[in-house]
């Protein structure tokens, strides 16, 4: 082969190498952003679990320290009706520990410590006192909306994706 037929091949090889290298770099950047979003989601789930465990413990302690009637557990119910996914109906609880807890979850008392996108109406404590398997069952549902799901993609939708953590416990 003549030298003239090989001219420019090194330039094409260099351009292909740069293309492959830049695709690899872009892939690593994308993996980094996905890893950060997954870490944030894990942190929010951990916080939601801690909030649910906190109110369940407070209700159990409060019930054990006083001599309540069997229906006293119903006083801790907070928006016990179901209006859809993370959309609850019913009256808010009148118990101070529940209202303080709802304010902490929603970030009303301290905006830096609440769950993102959580509101006072997106938290639920449902009490089931029917005899049998549901006796004194307390279901605590914590809902929040991470910042990553509040972009313009869902601006025209009536349903914005919310995350949910649910704890079911039995209180004597």
Can you give the pLDDT of all 172 residues of the chain as single tens digits? 566 677 788 899 999 999 999 999 999 999 998 898 888 889 999 999 999 999 999 999 988 876 656 678 888 999 998 878 888 999 999 899 999 999 999 999 888 889 999 998 899 999 988 877 667 899 999 999 988 776 545 444 444 578 999 999 998 7
| Residue 131 counted as domain residue | yes
| Residue 30 counted as domain residue | yes
Domain span at residue 95 reads 7-170
> What pLDDT sits at residue 171?
86
| Residue 1 counted as domain residue | no
CA distances from 27 to 15, 24, 36 (A): 18, 5, 14
| Residue 129 counted as domain residue | yes
Q: In whole angstroms, what is the distance from residue 161 CA to residue 172 CA?
A: 35
Beta bridge partners of 78: 125
> What pLDDT sits at residue 157?
47
> What pLDDT sits at residue 52?
96
> What pLDDT sits at residue 34?
87
> What pLDDT sits at residue 38?
85
| Residue 112 counted as domain residue | yes
> What pLDDT sits at residue 158?
47
Q: Give the total number of structural domains in the chain.
A: 1
Q: In whole angstroms, what is the distance from residue 144 CA to residue 80 CA?
A: 18
| Residue 162 counted as domain residue | yes
| Residue 47 counted as domain residue | yes
| Residue 2 counted as domain residue | no
């Amino acid at each position: 082969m003549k030298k003239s037929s090989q001219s420019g091949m090194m330039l094409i090889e260099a351009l292909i190498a740069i293309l492959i290298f830049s695709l690899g770099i872009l892939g690593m950047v994308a993996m980094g952003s996905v890893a950060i979003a997954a870490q944030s989601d894990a942190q929010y789930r951990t916080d939601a679990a801690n909030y649910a465990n906190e109110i369940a413990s407070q209700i159990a302690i409060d019930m054990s320290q006083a001599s309540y009637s069997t229906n006293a557990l119903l006083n801790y119910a907070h928006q016990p009706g179901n209006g859809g996914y993370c959309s609850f109906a019913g009256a808010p609880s009148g118990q101070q520990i529940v209202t303080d807890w709802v304010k902490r979850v929603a970030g009303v008392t301290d905006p830096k410590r609440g769950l993102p996108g959580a509101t006072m109406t997106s938290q639920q404590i449902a009490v089931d006192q029917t005899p049998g398997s549901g006796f004194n069952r307390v279901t605590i549902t914590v809902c929040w909306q991470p910042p990553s799901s509040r972009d313009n993609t869902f601006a025209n939708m009536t349903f914005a994706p919310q995350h949910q953590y649910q704890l079911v416990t039995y209180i004597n």
